[in-house]
Each structure stands twice: as C-alpha cells, then as structure tokens.
Amino acid sequence: MIKLPTFKLEPVNLSRDEFRSLSLEGLWRNNPGLVQLLGLCPLLAVTNNVVNGLGLGLATIIVLLASNVAVSAVRNFIRQEVRIPTFILIIAANVTIIDMLMKAFFHDLYNILGIFIPLIVTNCAVLGRSEAFASKHEPVRAGLDSLMMGIGFMLVLMVLGGMRELVANGTLFSQAHLMFGEAARGWVISFGKDFHGLLLAALPPGAFIGLGLLVAMKNSIDQRLRKPAPKAATVAAAPSATAGEAA
Amino acid sequence: MIQTLRKLWNIHGGLHLDYHKEDSNQSPARDIPLPAELVIPLQQHMGYKPNLTVKAGDYVYKGQELAEHNGFMKVPVHASTSGTITAIEERPIAHPSGLNDLCIILKPDGKDDWGNARMTPYPDHTQVDGEVLRKRICAAGIVGMGGAVFPAAIKLNVHDNIPISALIINGAECEPYITCDDRLMREKPEEIIAGIQIMMHIINTQQCLIGIEDNKPQAVAAMQAAIASSGDTRIQAIPVPTLYPTGGEKQLIKILTGKEVPSGGRPASIGMICHNVATARAIYRAIALGEPLVERYVTVSGSGIAKPCNLNVPVGTPVQHLIEQAGGYTQAVHRLLMGGPMMGITLNNPQIPVVKATNCILVEQPKPVPPAMPCIRCGRCMETCPANLLPQQLYWYSRSREFDKAENLHLFDCIECGCCAYVCPSHIPLVDYYRFAKAEIRTQRDTKRKAEIARDRHEFRLERQERAKREKAEKLAKHREQAQTSTDDGKKAAIQAALERAQAKKAAAQQDNPA
Amino acid sequence: MMFASHSTSTAPLDVSQVMRQVLYALIPGTLLLLWFFGWGLLTNWVLAIGFGLGFEAIMLKWRQRPIQPFLLDYSVIVTAWLLAVALPAYSPWWLMAAAMLFAVVIAKHLYGGLGYNPFNPAMVGYAAMLVSYPLQMTAWPAPLDAGFGQVGFEQTMQLVFGGASPASWDGFSAATALDTVKTDLRTHKPLMDIYAKETFGWLGGRGWEWVNLAWLLGGLWLLRQRIISWHIPAAFLGSLVLIAGMFWIIDPAQYTSPLFHLFSGAAILGAFFIATDPVTASTTPRGKLIYAAGIGLFIYIIRTWGGYPDAVAFSVIIMNMVVPLIDHYTQPRVYGT
C-alpha cells in the first residue's frame, strides 16, 4: 500500500540575499530568452511589435506562475515516473484558462497572437522551470522564480518587438489599443511618414538577426562587467557570442 | 645531349621557383682549411643516441669512432680529423626550436692523420655478403644525406617477402640555391655509380633509376657518361622536369615509376628503396676505401654571402668558418638558414656545426615578414600541394586544436615542403601550424600509450594482489578446514572410544550377571 | 594541376593584389554602365565605397583590429563596387547605406571579419534590400535614358539625397527585360510579342547585353590572370544554359532562350565576380563544380517559377549555406591513399 505524504504548509525562510539572487537569475543571469534560448518559437514568431510581445509575455507570466506554484504544491504527491505528464496537464489547464480569458477580453490581440497562446503549453521555458525548479522547491520560491523568469522572458519579447517595430515601421507601441482600449491609440510613437522601414526586420530573418544581436549585447555587457578577469575569460566568452549570432 | 627514354608521371601541384643555382655551381667544390675547433653532435640521425667511447683529453685519429652503435636505430659518429677531445658538453645545434644537445669538441692538431682508424676495405663487394656490407655501412656512420638522416643501413635492410623492384637514387636537388649534389654528380659520378652497385648488391635488385632535375644538364651528362663507362646497363640516369618538390622521396618515386607510396607506409612496401646521391658516394667510400662518413659537400649561397660556392667540409665545422671561406657576409644584417629556403631551419647562432645532413648554408638578406592576414580560402595552397591535401582545412583544424579532424584529413601525409605557405596570399606560416599539430598529436599518443601501459601495470598489480590475497585466503581456508576436520575427527574418535568403552563395560557387566 | 603547369617564377600574390586584380576586371563593365547611367552610377559608386570604408573602419576599431592592413586589403572595396553596380542607378543614399550596413557589419564583421563570413557580404546586402525595398530595388532607368546628357547633376542630387518619394520614380524607371518577361508571361502573352517590346535588344535586355559582354571580358581576363579558376564560371553558366536550353527546346513559346538568360540579368557578373568569392565558395575542384552548378540551377528555378525576376543573390546565398557540406564530401584523393 502506498503511503501518501500529508500535505502541510512548509515554513518559508526567504532571505534577502536569496530573493535577490532568484530575481537576478530570472531577469538576467539565466534569462530564458537570452541565455537558455528556450521558447524560441513564440519568441521569434510574435515579436514584430512591442504590444504583441507584451501580450504574449503577460500570458506566459501568468501561465508560468500559476503552473509552477501548482506543480510545487503537489510535488510531494507525484511519483517520479509520471511527473512530466502531470506537469504538462497542469500547464495545459492553465493555458486553456488564459486562452479563454483572452478570447473573452482581448479578442483583437487574441486574433493576432493566434496559435501562439495555446502553444505556450509546449513552451520549454514553462516546462523547464517546472522540472528544474518548481518540482524541487516549495511554492513561495517556485512562485518567485517563475515570476522572475516570466518577467525576464517578457522583457526580451518586448525589447525584441520594439527593435523590430522600430526598424521595420519606424513606430513604437502601435496597436496598443488592442490591449489598453481606445485611449491607447495616442500612445503610438512614430518617426515620421518618410521613414523607409526595413521590411526585413518584420520578417522571420529580422527576428533571428535581432535575437542574435540581443544575445551578443548581453554577453558583451557581461564581459565588460567581468573586466578585471584575466584575458582567458574573454576568449572563452567569444564562442558563445558567435553561437548567439548564428542562432 | 640529354636523352629521355622513359615515360614519366606527373605529381599534383608543385611550384616553379627562382632557383639561383648558377650562383654556386660554377666552380668545383673546394677543400677548406681546418677550423680551430670541431663540434661534433653525438646524434646526427633519426633514432637514439649512440654510446660515447671517448672522454675529454683523449687523442683521436681521423676516422676514429667517437661513439658506438650497439643497439637499434643507433649510428656511430667519427672524428673528422685527428686531434684532442677538449670537452664533451651541450652546445647549440641545428634544431627548429634552437635546442642544445650533447656534442664532442675536437681540437684539430692539423696533421689530419688517419692513423690506423681506417676500416678494412672490401675492394670487390660482390664477393662479400650483403649483411656484412650493411654492418659496415652502419659502422661507417652513414645516414640519409638528403636531409632525412634515416640510418642508411636500416633502409637497406629489406624483407624477403617484398622483393625490391628498383633502387631510386635521388639527384633531383629541387630546392633553390642548393648545388652540392649537382657538383658531386659532376665531379664524382664514378664513386656514386660504384656506391649504387654496392647497394644493388645488398638489396638484390636489377634496376636503378637516378632522377635528376633537368636544370642540371651537366650533372645528367656526367652521370650518363659514368654509367656508360661502367658498362652497367641496369642503371639509368633520368632527367625529370624541374618542379619543386620533385626531390621529395614520395614525389620522385611517383614521377619515375608512377607508383605511390601508401599513406603511412615506406617505399619498401611497394618494392622501392630511395637514397640520395651523396649517400651512395659515402657508401662507396665506406666499402671500397674503409672510410667512415666524416666530410661532405656543402653549398654556401644566398644573397647575403660574398662568394657563393661549394665546399668539402669536415662534419662538425662551425657555420661561421664556412662563411669566412665563402668570402664573408655582404651585409651586417643577415638571416642564416641550414638547408634550402623552402624547408631550411633558421640558425640563431653562427657557431652551430655542420652535420651529416647539412646540404646548404643559406645567407639571406632579412626580409620584413608581412603580417599574417586571415585565410580567405582561396585554395592556392591546395592547388600547389604535392600530396593533394587540403592545406587550408588542415590549418583551420590545427589552429582550433581539432587534431582528430586534422588527422582524418591526412595531416601525417604532409611532407612539410612549404609550397602552401609560399603561395599563401595571406602570408600564413602554414607549415608551422602542421608541425605544431603533428607534435601535439604525437605527444597525445605518447601520453595515451604511457597511460595505457600504466593502467595495464596497475591492473596487473591489482590482479596480482587480488590473486595473492585469494590464494592466501584459500590457503588459510584449507588450513582451517584441515584443522577443523582434524579436531572434529579427534572429538568423534574420543566420543566413539568412550561409547565403546561404555558398551564394553556394559557387555562385561551383563556377562558378569547372567540372568 | 592547372596552376602548377602554368605557374611562373614570379613571387606569389598577396590578398590585396588579388583583390586589386578583381577591381581592374570590373572596370570595363563599370565604364559602360557609367555611359548608360551617368551621374546615377557615379553617386552609387561614391556612396558605396564611402559607406563601405566607413563601416569597415568603425567595425575594425570596435573589434580592436588593426585598421590599416584590413582597409588596404581592398576586400571591402570589392564588396562595395559590386553593390554599386548591382543596386539601381540613382539609388537613394539611405538604400546604399543600408545595403553596405548589411554587407559589411552584419554579413562580414559579426561573423568575424575577412575570411570568416559564410555568406557573400555583397549578396547579403543586396538580398536584404531586395526583400525590404522591392520598389526601389527594381527601379532601374532604361539604359542611355539616364545618361550624363539626360539627367543633370542637380536632378541627381534631388533623386539621391532629396528624399523623392517612390511615386516620382515611376515615370523614370523602366521594367528590365527579366521583369517584363515575368509579368507578361503571367498574362499569357506570347513570348514573341514580349520580345518585340522596347526593352529587348539583340541578345537580352537592350543595352544590358553590352554590359554583360563587358563583365564577360573582365571575367575572362581574371581567368587568364589565374585569379579565379575556370570551375566556378563554367559550372555556373553551364548549368544555367543547360537547364534553360532543356525547357526552351521543349517549349520555346513559353520559356526564354539560354542566351536570353545569360545576357539579361546578373548571371555573368555573378559567375565571374560574385560566386568566385573564395571565402564563401567551395574550395575543392569537384566542390566548386557542384557549388556553381547549384547556383545556376537555383537562378533558373527562381527566375522561371519564383517571385523575383532575378535570383543571383538568393542562389548564391543558398549555395553558400551548403559549402561546408560540399567541401566535406568532395575531398581530393590524397597521395598514397
């Protein structure tokens, strides 16, 4: 007979340092978009402007947060052999809820993001955090981790979206009304009618080039921060930068 | 008139260079006065160091053995003149990395006295067993004088299962500036032919092809005349097209016979033996005159020397002495090379001695070395590579230390001729990268082999210990068992005895009390 | 082998000498273009070289490489020159700037600079512009209609720097021969009627056939100088002619002739000057044949059934991608193996 562990609220002693390191991990050091290079499919597909990036980013944050808190809460009840299907079930349930909510309240944005909302289920960044972190930590830490990972992912989506929107159309925050209502129509920043937008940036190659540049930028900032380190470190960092560009 | 009778084959690639042969080949090779001091490196061949037989302070005659050759891949060295050994110490030698090595320092007494150091001559080699001749060649300290310095006697040791179809004699001398073989062929063709006949006797072959580049018509004519006067129809001197690096052993064999030495193999595996003309002459002198190899022709040439010439030089003569004999430098600043401009070794010190492999001392005006630019994959290296390798790919892999990939692209078939580096529009020192990669791979293999041996030993030791333990345990167990059984038996016997006694008593009692 | 059997005893070339010879070979065709397009070609040329050298210097500085030797190797000038003749004459300055940015910064230096770029920089610049600005990139004026006499210097400045809207280009530019064939065939016009149009000359596009002959002349000179080997041009043009000839024989009313394919677009320029870029081409003899034949094949496919009238840039980039694979499978037989 299987003896079920009893569910009890675990004491949480989250120190300031741990809070900082968990946040930094998700936002920068282990950013899912720039370092882990996870969830590239939506990352590359929907980032042709800031608003799309923001929309998908928010949806991903909510899914991440809800799923990973749930995974963490039930982690002691799940047998090792079936944990992946269970995680997927939890994530899928959350995605379905988000999908329906967006259909109801942000229908125009939903139409644009289309298939990529249901596809969050297969976003490796979500399952990855469940498997690597939430299934080993209690809900508070899991929640914090997924929140920070989600924000990190969203920021990459927005920056990439911004870059591509700017280069391709010469605007920022176009279509903001889809998310924030008619009042947001005026938020659009435009760089003039004569702007010869580079269509390539809005096309798939633009997404790859843009992500490559972002990864290179991140690595180069890291390198500069590590400047006092010996020369060998800079040499070792070089291949990762080129790998990023190649991606 | 040069006669071409044979069909010749082509090699891939190759280069036409500025040869500058006329600079030094216009006059006969001169003998030179002895230097103040001879520096004779102990090891002048590929293989292992011979064992010293002299010590500082000894007086030696010319030709006397200074180090003996008992053992595999060892070749002796001999005194190049008579005199006193002043020291045996580390001196700089000709080495790509500028290393020092053990040298015997000989102060000549000026008499150049052979004493009785000459070995017994064999005037008619056909009456002597090949094995005896081979031993003599080794004892005379003869190595490949074209630059490979492989012990000649070992090269002549052929296996019965692969008959030797031809002896190839290398008179190509394809590097610019060098003319010592050219002069030798013009001046001593009879000695070369006689040496060839000795070799043919040893390896038992009926054909000898002498390949000479067609920019040396006088040498070809001299050799053909010598062959004609010897009446030996088995030997042919064949002019081959002038193309660097025709003088590469593998390349010359391909050109003369159309056969390719298999990758990783030696010419002997396709029934060929290849020797240099100077080696052939040294063999003649060792057999017919009993003289060991103590001198050789050396070209001193280049734009930085006053009077380019060929000299007959005792082994061990410092390079500085040769330069003085050739009129000295034309400029204060110069670059010294041992060997030709394509494959030579840069010398950092003019006191470095001439060795058995030294064919040329080249004094060049120093040229500013253009900075290496990135490879643009133009493929010129590939077009000139005589081994048909992919030099630029080898370069990528050597540079990025992906040695296994370089090996898969046949890095070890590279003959380091330098054609690729010569034509490289980006001035990349390609051969340096290949040498580096080869050395690294060899070190890795060595470490691996050593590790394997160590592991085998360790495993064997563990097994031995295990076995010892097991045997000990078994022994102990046996011993215990024996002890056990013996005590058990004793107890049983005692009990048995007691029971028997009791029964006997009973019986006796019953007998005593009949009912 | 070819190289060896003809090689002279002169000192070998270095990179800058090789590049300089390529530039000399570009001169005849460029002069002809200059006659046809006047100021428009000159501005293209000056802008391309200027932006090219500028971006190269900035990137070298940023990457902490020595600036002088790399600027003097002429490789960036070859790239710039190719784009100057590939982009339509009278291109606006920003178009040339963006093309050079893609070519020098993204396609060349982000991959590690000279020798490390997998894609032909000039063609990356061209393709990025063609995808992004199809209107401006197909706005070729008709040859001679825009020569020195026809379009003045001031008007040129207006066109290049004045930010004239694309609408003003319509009367100015004429569809090229390849363009015309493509659009008219869609409307099921018979090929004979299409050929009767003004843009067609005696071999291909009117005027363009002469430019192509001049590229051919320069290319043959490069062959003679042994700067390039025969493999790439021969296989490139051979495969294009072969496949074009096959379809032409099957249905000459529907498919244009091989000669038209050779002399209307950028095929000859591509065969001698673009596909032969050693950095991005295959290096083995057999590999070069496969690589160049692939380019010829893709050009025909895209010209005939694709969305763009010409396809040298896309075809070269596609084949650049498979070069490592081709090189791996076409290694020559090493001596003794």
Q: What is the pLDDT of residues A74-100, one digit of tens each?
A: 888 888 888 889 999 999 999 999 889
Q: What is the CATH number of domain B370-509?
A: 1.10.1060
SS3 B67: strand
Query: Do B425 and C116 lie within an 8 Å CB cutoff?
Result: no
Is there a contact between B74 and B44 (Cβ–Cβ < 8 Å)?
A: no
| Percent of chain A topping pLDDT 70 | 85
Nearest to B383 among C3, C13, C15 (CB): C3
A14 vs A8: CA distance, rounded Å: 18
Nearest to A209 among C94, C98, C106 (CB): C106
At C65-114, the pLDDT tens digits run 888 888 888 999 999 999 999 999 888 999 999 999 999 999 999 998 88
Domain map (residue ranges) of chain B: 30-347, 370-509
Buried b (16+ CB within 10 A) or exposed e, A53-77: bbbbbbbbbbbbbbbbbbbbbbbee
Mean pLDDT, chain A, integer: 81
Distance from CA of A45 to the nearest CA of C (A): 18
Buried b (16+ CB within 10 A) or exposed e, A101-139: ebeeebeebbebbeebbebbbebebbbebbeebbbebbb
Query: Do A194 and C163 lie within an 8 Å CB cutoff?
Result: yes
The pLDDT value recorded for residue B413 is: 92
Q: Which of C96, C132, C161 should one mutate to test binding to chain A, selecting the residue with the greatest count of A CBs within 10 A?
A: C132
CA angle B249, B382, C318 (to 5 degrees): 155
Residues 162-201 on C with a CB inside 8 Å of A are: 163, 165
The pLDDT value recorded for residue C7 is: 39
Peptide bond into B314 cis (omega under 30): no
Chains that touch A (3 or more CB pairs under 8 A): C
C264 vs C211: CA distance, rounded Å: 10
B182 vs B185: CA distance, rounded Å: 5
Whole-model pTM: value is: 0.82
Nearest to C335 among B250, B371, B383 (CB): B250
Q: In what order do the strands lie in the sheet with B59-60?
A: B38-41, B100-108, B83-92, B59-60
C309 vs C260: CA distance, rounded Å: 13
Q: Tell whether B440 is within 8 A of chain C (Cβ).
A: no
Write the DSSP symbol of residue A188: -
Reference A156, options A34, A22, A25; nearest CA is A34
C333 vs B495: CA distance, rounded Å: 92
B99 vs B348: CA distance, rounded Å: 10
Q: What is the CATH number of domain B30-347?
A: 3.40.50.11540
At B94-107, the pLDDT tens digits run 887 778 889 999 99
Domain map (residue ranges) of chain A: 30-229
Structure tokens at B479: 């011993």
B156 vs B131: CA distance, rounded Å: 10
Q: Which of B11, B18, B373, B424 should one mutate to test binding to chain C, selecting the residue with the greatest count of C CBs within 10 A?
A: B373
The pLDDT value recorded for residue B515 is: 41
Q: Tell whether C133 is within 8 A of chain A (Cβ).
A: yes
Residues 196-235 on A with a CB inside 8 Å of C are: 196-201, 203, 205, 209, 212, 216
Q: Residue A213: pLDDT band by 50, 70, 90 thresholds?
A: very high
Closest C-chain CA to B266: C336
B41 vs B105: CA distance, rounded Å: 9
The pLDDT value recorded for residue A232 is: 45
3-state helix, strand, coil in chain C (%, to 5): 65, 0, 35
Write the DSSP symbol of residue B367: -
B299 vs B22: CA distance, rounded Å: 12
Reference C86, options C30, C135, C19; nearest CA is C30
Residues with Cβ within 8 Å of B13's Cβ and at least 6 positions away in sequence, in order, are B382, B383, B384, B385, B386, B388, B419, C1, C3, C4
Chains that touch C (3 or more CB pairs under 8 A): A, B
C12 vs C10: CA distance, rounded Å: 6
Reference A24, options A11, A10, A13, A35; nearest CA is A35
Splitting chain B (515 residues) into consecutive groups of 10 residues, what average pLDDT does each group show? 68 89 90 92 83 88 87 84 92 83 91 87 88 90 85 84 89 92 94 94 91 93 93 91 91 92 88 93 93 93 91 94 91 86 88 92 84 88 92 92 91 92 91 91 90 89 88 86 70 76 72 51
Structure tokens at C1: 């082998």
CB pairs under 8 A between A and C: 28
The pLDDT value recorded for residue B501 is: 79
The pLDDT value recorded for residue C8 is: 38
Is there a contact between C129 and C308 (Cβ–Cβ < 8 Å)?
A: no
Is there a contact between A116 and A63 (Cβ–Cβ < 8 Å)?
A: no
Query: Do C336 and B263 lie within an 8 Å CB cutoff?
Result: yes
Closest A-chain CA to C116: A242
Q: Tell whether C72 is within 8 A of chain A (Cβ).
A: no
B285 vs B311: CA distance, rounded Å: 18
Write the DSSP symbol of residue A4: P
Dihedral sign of CA atoms C176, C178, C179, C180 in order:
positive
Is there a contact between C108 and C279 (Cβ–Cβ < 8 Å)?
A: no
CA angle B166, B170, B176 (to 5 degrees): 160
Nearest to B262 among C2, C333, C336 (CB): C336
Q: What residue type is assigned to position B208 of the chain? A: C
At B447-478, the pLDDT tens digits run 999 998 888 888 888 888 888 888 888 888 88
C203 vs C238: CA distance, rounded Å: 17
Is there a contact between B76 and B69 (Cβ–Cβ < 8 Å)?
A: yes
Distance of CA B450 to the CA centre of its chain: 23
- Pinpoint the alpha helices (H) of A80-203: 83-105, 107-113, 124-132, 139-169, 177-180, 199-202
A99 vs A114: CA distance, rounded Å: 10
Domain map (residue ranges) of chain C: 11-165, 175-331
ipTM of the complex in this document: 0.83
A148 vs A24: CA distance, rounded Å: 8
